[in-house]
């Protein structure tokens, strides 16, 4: 390794292997400890596996890693190779992938060039004069280094058959600010802290009348909570540091004594070592909270993973450079603060609205609340509502400007719940919240794209917990009323609807009166910005409020006769023009004029509301006749940790798609194989997959079998299909259900059928619905037995357990093909009785001649198959000839 003499650095450590294939150096550059490893992997695949395994000891779990060199293997044969054997044997890459996952690394060139093909090694095949090119030279870097990597390129090098790979790091140190105070949850288990809080509160309650309002009194109380917490945390921190220092000194003394081999000294040495280990575990719990790991409460102990995740989260919030509108860049901390402040001040500034456009836009029929529903929304808040809201909130979420977490409120809720209720109701009476409740902290999280552009950073508003309790309670009220005023096209924030389904109740003025936010940039806070438009992300009522505004847009589109939507199959007067999930709107339009009119409606909505449609993010899909027009790494996790990753991050996305899309058996098998290979780290399984599917209490890991889960999803779809609530998606799903040619829509599952009777022409998803229904056939039961004459006429004569001949359901395929699928199809429309045999013959053959022998024989067999008990008979007379059914149909009760 060659280091430029002008680079300000300190070499901390140097080591290498015994074969001259690995050189390792620990380097300190600008307060960044870089563990750099240069490698030259063996040519033979069988030797590379052991080489990559041995590479573990050169990597660091506490510092950023950079591994560079000739790895002599590739990750993707399609992207990283040209010519030669299209399926090269690179089994050793499995061990390299394990290394990448364990130390949170990434192939930085591939990450920056997703689908690009480029190569670092070129050779000529002498046998056929063809060329072989591969990308076997690359950098593997810690993901937390991503913000500091300004470029990674491959370039030609004339003096070798390998090209060079260049990685550029920019370690201009980012000056970080102090941030803002966060409550330490460990204090909640400290008896001295609890006593301090109780003593303070007993006295503080008596002083509420000394303040100009309960709002000022409550804000001052939260300030004292903070002072008490800081004072006690300093004492605890000092005691803990002293405890660690004493244990470390004791461990050093006992280590020297234990060398003599005395059993008691060795036992005391191990005991002190275990105490130090418990202190490390305690520190790890704090790291888990800071890392926001999704399974930190599940007992996972992988410290390397959590420390690297914490570094990655910090990197995702670090802004080093911003590009201004005039393409100038700023790097100075004060300039960065000014740019973020100005950007969000402009973003949240009020825009003038066109009053005439607003009047025109609102001139449509809106659903209205009943007086009873309106009254239930206007009632004063209750303590039970607040408690329900608080205890439904997750623990350890980022606090607002006052620093108090949900855990604090849950622990001390009995102490001050009644006073907080008083504060809330006073706020509604006065029309304004307290100062701290009106303020938020906008935290910026990098999304994707150019890190220097502010539009590529997602703003998340950190709100105080007492504000979130209030908005959650109000959101719960609001959601109960949403189904009354929001169309079934909208599925977000409406109880009982899912994303698959595809007059305001409470005044938001109190929640959004004089609210402001400060933007936190590299732990520095800007001055507060008044919010004049938009909703606060993180506010519980923001979603239902936005849904209500989006409903105004949807109502206009549904009422617009110039916009033509899809007509569901079958006889229906429903026209489906759109589906919505929050601010995501999917338009289902049938012609160009409808598309143009839809965008004119968007323009009117923009002028009326001040909202803007982001046309850069809009996408279209031509269908039908228009079709031709145009690694999250998880270090050395335990089995429980791997199961949580599978359930939380992998299969959750699979279930989302499997809810509406067919999953072929081969796909289920392949995905399940991948899941279990990950779980067992590509080693032989110790137990079978049925055991892993069991709950933890029974020795499993809750890793669902895919086919079982698919059955559950299909049955849930059928359950929702058969439910009484109206939804547009049901028209489409019901239309494609059929067995033996009998299409009865959502009543199809009531038929008696076997797997081979499911129509082959059905879409795969609908076949899966009916197959899932059959799987649990023993658990079916009829909830309604037809008794009235109209109900009997609607019954199918075939594959119906209520209509049998000799105890078996009937099925005449030729009759079904001609549309005779209900009893009314073989009855007169006006007078009682069945159609004569001559009429049936005309329906089946489209011939007005005499019925042929097979038809007469079918009718005779049909009438002769009389069940032992006849409860009802239908007789018809056509010129003296008894037709079809005289006493042959038994309607079971």
Nearest 5°: the CA angle 354, 358, 362 is: 175
Range of weakest confidence among 98-107, 187-196, 243-252, 391-400: 243-252
In this prediction, residue 190 carries a pLDDT of: 92
In this prediction, residue 331 carries a pLDDT of: 80
More confident residue, 820 or 55: 55
Provide long-range contacts, Cβ within 8 A and 24+ apart, for 823-832: 823/792, 823/793, 823/794, 823/795, 823/796, 823/797, 824/793, 824/794, 826/797, 826/884, 827/793, 827/874, 827/876, 828/876, 832/876
Nearest 5°: the CA angle 82, 85, 89 is: 110
More confident residue, 353 or 473: 473
More confident residue, 881 or 843: 843
Provide mean pLDDT across the span 163-174: 82
Query: Are 804 and 867 within 8 A, CB to CB?
Result: yes
In this prediction, residue 404 carries a pLDDT of: 95
In this prediction, residue 288 carries a pLDDT of: 59
In this prediction, residue 463 carries a pLDDT of: 92
Provide mean pLDDT across the span 849-863: 66
- Which residues sit opposite 589 in a β-bridge? 565
In this prediction, residue 733 carries a pLDDT of: 87
In this prediction, residue 884 carries a pLDDT of: 37
Provide mean pLDDT across the span 256-264: 68
Q: Report how far Cα 582 is from the mean position of its chain's Cα atoms.
A: 14
In this prediction, residue 299 carries a pLDDT of: 47
What is the pLDDT of the chain when averaged over all its residues?
Answer: 81
Instruction: Give the tens place of pLDDT for each residue, 277-304.
Output: 888 777 766 665 555 544 444 444 445 5
Residue 711 has pLDDT above 50, yes or no: yes
Q: What is each CA distance from 377 to 370, 382, 505, in whole angstroms?
A: 11, 12, 6
Tell me the C-alpha distance between 859 and 851, whole Å: 10
Q: How confident is the model at residue 629 (pLDDT cuts 50, 70, 90)?
A: low
- Rounding to the nearest 10 degrees, give the CA dihedral for residues 114, 118, 123, 125: 70
Nearest 5°: the CA angle 762, 766, 772 is: 130
Two tokens, residue 605: 């909505």
- N-term to C-term CA, the chain: 89
User: Scanning the structure block, which residue is given the tokens 């409120």?
Assistant: 409
Nearest 5°: the CA angle 134, 140, 145 is: 140
Range of weakest confidence among 446-460, 467-481, 775-789: 775-789
Q: What is each CA distance from 458 to 443, 767, 848, in whole angstroms?
A: 8, 42, 73
Instruction: Give the tens place of pLDDT for each residue, 490-538.
Output: 555 455 544 444 433 344 456 666 678 888 888 888 888 888 777 777 7
More confident residue, 847 or 217: 217
In this prediction, residue 631 carries a pLDDT of: 45
Query: Are 531 and 452 within 8 A, CB to CB?
Result: no
In this prediction, residue 644 carries a pLDDT of: 85
Conformational region of residue 819, where left means phi above 0, alpha means psi within -120 to 50, and beta covers everything else: left
- Rg over alpha carbons for the chain, rounded to the nearest Å, is 35
Beta strands (DSSP E) in 467-571 are 516-521, 524-525, 529-530
Provide mean pLDDT across the span 607-616: 80
In this prediction, residue 513 carries a pLDDT of: 62
Query: Are 603 and 354 within 8 A, CB to CB?
Result: no
Q: Please state the length of the chain.
A: 893
Q: What is the phi/psi pair of residue 155, to 5°? A: -135, 160
Range of weakest confidence among 184-188, 270-274, 377-381, 865-869: 865-869
Tell me the C-alpha distance between 230 and 224, whole Å: 10
In this prediction, residue 198 carries a pLDDT of: 95
In this prediction, residue 846 carries a pLDDT of: 73
In this prediction, residue 892 carries a pLDDT of: 36
In this prediction, residue 286 carries a pLDDT of: 66
Residue 887 has pLDDT above 50, yes or no: no
Provide mean pLDDT across the span 817-825: 79
What proportion of the chain, given as a percentage, has pLDDT over 90? 24
User: What is the full DSSP assignment across 408-433?
Assistant: HHHHHHHHHHHHHHHHHHHHHHHT--
In this prediction, residue 298 carries a pLDDT of: 46
Q: How confident is the model at residue 2 (pLDDT cuts 50, 70, 90)?
A: very high
Whether the pTM exceeds 0.85: the reply is no
Which of 62, 147, 63, 61 is closest to 108 using CA atoms?
A: 147
User: Scanning the structure block, which residue is given the tokens 């105070």?
Assistant: 181
In this prediction, residue 893 carries a pLDDT of: 30
Q: What is the phi/psi pair of residue 480, to 5°? A: -65, -25
Q: How confident is the model at residue 888 (pLDDT cuts 50, 70, 90)?
A: very low
In this prediction, residue 509 carries a pLDDT of: 54
Tell me the C-alpha distance between 157 and 120, whole Å: 9
Provide mean pLDDT across the span 605-616: 81
Query: Are 124 and 658 within 8 A, CB to CB?
Result: no
Tell me the C-alpha distance between 736 and 746, whole Å: 9
In this prediction, residue 67 carries a pLDDT of: 97
Residue 464 has pLDDT above 90, yes or no: yes
Nearest 5°: the CA angle 820, 821, 827 is: 60
Q: What is each CA distance from 125 to 84, 122, 158, 737, in whole angstroms?
A: 8, 10, 20, 58
Judged on CB neighbours under 10 Å (0-12, 13-18, 19+), 256 is: exposed
In this prediction, residue 507 carries a pLDDT of: 43
Tell me the C-alpha distance between 13 and 23, whole Å: 11
Provide mean pLDDT across the span 426-435: 90
More confident residue, 241 or 130: 241
Two tokens, residue 36: 């750099």
DSSP type of residue 846: S
Provide mean pLDDT across the span 528-552: 79
Query: Are 394 and 407 within 8 A, CB to CB?
Result: no
Range of weakest confidence among 54-58, 861-865, 883-887: 883-887
Residue 417 has pLDDT above 90, yes or no: yes
Residue 432 has pLDDT above 60, yes or no: yes
Among the residues of 151-262, which ranges form H helices?
Answer: 191-204, 214-258
Instruction: Give the tens place of pLDDT for each residue, 738-751.
Output: 888 888 888 888 88
Residue 866 has pLDDT above 60, yes or no: no
Two tokens, residue 550: 């989006």
Provide long-range contacts, Cβ within 8 A and 24+ apart, for 223-230: 223/402, 224/200, 225/197, 225/404, 225/408, 226/181, 226/183, 226/402, 226/403, 226/404, 228/193, 228/196, 228/197, 228/200, 229/183, 229/184, 229/187, 229/193, 230/181
Q: How many CB atoms lie within 10 A of CB 151?
A: 10
Provide long-range contacts, Cβ within 8 A and 24+ apart, for 652-660: 654/706, 655/709, 655/713, 656/499, 658/709, 658/710, 658/713, 659/500, 659/713, 659/717, 660/500, 660/765
Nearest 5°: the CA angle 845, 851, 852 is: 90
Judged on CB neighbours under 10 Å (0-12, 13-18, 19+), 399 is: buried
Residue 31 has pLDDT above 60, yes or no: yes
In this prediction, residue 89 carries a pLDDT of: 63
Tell me the C-alpha distance between 456 and 460, whole Å: 13
Residue 539 has pLDDT above 70, yes or no: yes
């Amino acid at each position: 390794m060659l280091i430029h003499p002008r680079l300000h650095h300190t070499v901390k450590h140097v080591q290498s292997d015994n074969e001259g294939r690995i050189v390792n150096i620990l380097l300190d550059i600008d307060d960044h400890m870089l563990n750099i490893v240069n490698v030259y992997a063996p040519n033979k695949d069988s030797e590379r596996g052991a080489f990559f395994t041995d590479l573990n000891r050169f990597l660091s779990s506490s510092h950023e890693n950079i591994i560079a060199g000739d790895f002599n293997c590739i990750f993707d044969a399609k992207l990283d190779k040209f010519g030669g054997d299209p399926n090269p044997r690179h089994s050793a890459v499995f061990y390299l992938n394990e290394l990448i996952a364990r130390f949170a690394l990434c192939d930085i060139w591939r990450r920056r060039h997703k689908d690009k093909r480029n190569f670092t090694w070129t050779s000529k095949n002498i046998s056929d004069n063809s060329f072989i090119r591969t990308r076997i030279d690359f950098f593997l870097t810690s993901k937390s280094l991503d913000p500091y990597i300004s470029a990674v390129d491959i370039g030609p090098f004339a003096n070798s058959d390998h090209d060079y790979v260049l990685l550029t790091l920019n370690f201009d140190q980012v000056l970080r600010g102090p941030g803002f105070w966060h409550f330490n949850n460990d204090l909640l288990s400290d008896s001295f802290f609890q006593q301090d809080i109780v003593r303070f509160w007993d006295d503080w309650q008596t002083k509420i009348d000394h303040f100009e309002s309960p709002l000022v009194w409550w804000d001052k109380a939260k300030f004292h909570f903070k002072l008490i917490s800081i004072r006690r945390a300093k004492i605890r921190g000092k005691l803990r540091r002293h405890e660690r220092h004493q244990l470390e000194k004791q461990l050093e003394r006992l280590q020297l004594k234990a060398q003599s081999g005395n059993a008691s000294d060795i036992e005391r040495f191990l005991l002190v070592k275990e105490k130090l280990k418990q202190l490390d575990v305690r520190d790890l719990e704090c790291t888990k909270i800071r890392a926001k790991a999704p399974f930190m409460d599940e007992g996972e102990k992988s410290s390397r993973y959590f420390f690297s995740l914490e570094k990655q989260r910090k990197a995702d919030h670090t802004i080093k450079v911003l590009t201004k509108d005039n393409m100038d860049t700023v790097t100075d901390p004060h300039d960065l603060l000014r740019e973020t402040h100005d950007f969000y001040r402009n973003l949240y500034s009020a825009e003038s609205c066109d009053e005439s456009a607003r009047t025109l836009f609102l001139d449509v029929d809106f659903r209205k609340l009943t007086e009873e529903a309106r009254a239930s929304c206007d009632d004063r808040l209750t303590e039970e509502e607040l408690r329900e809201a608080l205890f439904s909130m997750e623990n350890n979420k980022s606090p607002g400007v006052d620093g108090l977490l949900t855990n604090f409120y849950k622990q001390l809720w009995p102490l001050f719940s009644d006073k907080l209720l008083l504060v809330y109701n006073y706020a509604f009476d006065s029309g304004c919240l307290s100062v701290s409740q009106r303020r938020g902290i906008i935290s910026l999280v990098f999304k994707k794209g150019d890190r220097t552009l502010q539009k590529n950073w997602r703003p998340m508003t950190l709100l105080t917990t007492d504000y979130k309790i209030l908005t959650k309670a109000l959101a719960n009220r609001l959601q109960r009323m949403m189904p009354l005023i929001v169309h079934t096209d909208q599925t977000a924030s409406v109880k009982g609807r899912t994303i698959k389904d595809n007059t305001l109740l409470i005044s938001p003025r109190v929640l959004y009166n004089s609210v402001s936010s400060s933007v936190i940039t590299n732990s520095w806070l800007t001055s507060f910005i008044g919010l004049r438009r938009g909703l606060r992300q993180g506010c519980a009522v923001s979603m239902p409020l936005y849904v209500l505004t989006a409903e105004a847009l949807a109502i206009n589109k549904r009422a617009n006769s110039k916009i033509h939507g899809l007509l569901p199959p079958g006889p229906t007067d429903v026209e489906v023009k759109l589906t919505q999930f929050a601010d995501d709107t999917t338009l289902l339009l049938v012609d160009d004029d409808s598309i143009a009119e839809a965008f004119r409606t968007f323009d009117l909505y923009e002028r009326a509301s001040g909202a803007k449609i982001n046309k850069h993010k809009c996408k279209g899909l031509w269908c039908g006749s228009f079709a031709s027009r145009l690694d999250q790494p998880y270090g050395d996790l335990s089995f429980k940790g791997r199961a949580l990753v599978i359930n939380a991050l992998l299969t959750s996305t699979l279930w989302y798609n499997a809810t509406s899309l067919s999953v072929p058996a081969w796909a289920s098998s392949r995905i399940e194989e991948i899941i279990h290979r990950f779980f067992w780290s590509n080693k032989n399984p110790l137990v079978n997959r049925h055991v892993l599917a069991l709950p933890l209490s029974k020795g499993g890991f809750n890793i669902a079998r895919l086919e079982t889960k698919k059955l559950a999803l299909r049955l849930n779809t059928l359950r929702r299909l058969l439910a009484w609530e109206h939804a547009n998606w049901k028209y489409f799903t019901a239309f494609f259900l059929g067995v033996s040619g009998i299409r009865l829509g959502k009543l199809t599952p009531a038929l008696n059928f076997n797997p081979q009777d499911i129509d082959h022409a059905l879409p795969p998803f609908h076949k899966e619905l009916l197959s899932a229904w059959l799987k649990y056939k023993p658990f079916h039961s009829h909830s309604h037995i037809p008794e009235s004459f109209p109900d009997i006429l609607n019954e199918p004569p075939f594959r119906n357990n209520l209509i049998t001949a000799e105890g078996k359901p009937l099925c005449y395929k030729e009759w079904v093909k001609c549309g005779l699928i209900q009893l009314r199809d073989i009855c007169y429309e006006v007078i009682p009785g069945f159609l004569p045999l001559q009429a049936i013959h005309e329906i089946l053959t489209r011939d007005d001649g005499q019925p042929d022998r097979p038809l007469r024989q079918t009718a005779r067999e049909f009438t002769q198959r009389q069940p032992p008990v006849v409860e009802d008979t239908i007789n018809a007379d056509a010129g003296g000839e008894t037709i079809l059914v005289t006493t042959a149909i038994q309607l079971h009760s």
